[in-house]
């Protein structure tokens, strides 16, 4: 090997090592434990595909960067962040300690229940329940990436993050809305 080839090889090696080092191990080992209620086999397949996308996105450098660099009004922060920095929010996601299942098990623990309602509600969840409810009026039209975005939004409520009930521009910058959107955008790539 010539000297220049060797240095190129070393540069590539350094580059790959630093890229690996940027994403914490917990991002790569993150899993989903999702059980379902009221699903048909095709709805089940869509949820499974959404789960795979969630795992791939959380393992990605793009997700880490998007969460850490999220800004609101020119500051690196989220609205309704519960007093947490972007880095702490990212870490909280990787821990996967839901309010009702507080063990740090590095997993998204969820029960997805499908229901139908002729309303504009895409989904909802209650603080005292492990269930997230998804309206089939929307669910059936969504791609798996759209479902992954929706599941992420609702699961962030399970981690304790909140947002205003009525719409305001700042609501888009809350943890469930902003990170749900990041998930939907990156999920398309997987
Ligand atoms: Zn919400």
The tally of domains found in the chain comes to 1
Ligand 1 centre from 184 Cα, in Å? 15
* Residue 121 is assigned to a structural domain of this protein: yes
Ligand 1 centre from 157 Cα, in Å? 7
For position 14, what pLDDT does the model report? 55
Ligand 1 centre from 168 Cα, in Å? 13
* Residue 4 is assigned to a structural domain of this protein: no
* Residue 159 is assigned to a structural domain of this protein: yes
Ligand 1 centre from 13 Cα, in Å? 42
* Residue 65 is assigned to a structural domain of this protein: yes
Ligand 1 centre from 24 Cα, in Å? 27
Ligand 1 centre from 121 Cα, in Å? 10
Ligand 1 centre from 5 Cα, in Å? 53
Ligand 1 centre from 3 Cα, in Å? 57
* Residue 175 is assigned to a structural domain of this protein: yes
Cα gap 64→23, rounded to integer Å: 7
Cα gap 21→26, rounded to integer Å: 12
H or E element that contains 109: strand 107-115
Ligand 1 centre from 69 Cα, in Å? 22
* Residue 12 is assigned to a structural domain of this protein: no
For position 130, what pLDDT does the model report? 93
For position 6, what pLDDT does the model report? 57
Ligand 1 centre from 186 Cα, in Å? 19
Q: Which segments in the chain show pLDDT lower than 50?
A: 1
Ligand 1 centre from 171 Cα, in Å? 10
CATH of the domain at 43: 3.40.390
* Residue 2 is assigned to a structural domain of this protein: no
* Residue 19 is assigned to a structural domain of this protein: no
Q: What is the DSSP string of 2-57?
A: -HHHHHHHHHHHHHHHHHHHHS-HHHHS-EEEEEEES--HHHHHHHHHHHHHHHHH
For position 22, what pLDDT does the model report? 83
Instruction: Print the domain residue range for 94.
Output: 24-187
Ligand 1 centre from 25 Cα, in Å? 28
């Amino acid at each position: 090997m010539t000297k220049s080839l060797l240095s190129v090889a070393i540069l590539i090696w350094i580059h790959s090592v630093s890229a690996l080092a940027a994403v914490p191990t917990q991002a790569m080992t993150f899993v989903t434990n999702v059980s379902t209620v009221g699903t048909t086999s095709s709805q089940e397949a869509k949820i499974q595909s959404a789960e795979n996308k969630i795992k791939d996105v959380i393992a990605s450098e793009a997700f880490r960067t998007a969460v850490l660099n999220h800004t609101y009004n020119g500051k690196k922060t989220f609205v309704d962040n519960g007093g947490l920095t972007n880095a702490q929010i990212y870490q909280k996601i990787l821990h996967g300690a839901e309010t009702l299942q507080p063990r740090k098990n590095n997993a998204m623990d969820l029960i997805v229940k499908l229901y139908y309602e002729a309303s504009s509600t895409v989904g909802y969840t209650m603080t005292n329940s492990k269930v997230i409810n998804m309206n089939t009026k929307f669910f059936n039209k969504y791609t798996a990436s759209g479902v992954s975005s929706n599941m992420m939004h609702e699961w962030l409520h399970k981690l304790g993050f909140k947002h205003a009930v009525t719409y305001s521009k700042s609501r888009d910058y809350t943890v469930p809305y902003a990170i749900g959107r990041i998930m939907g955008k990156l999920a398309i790539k997987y």
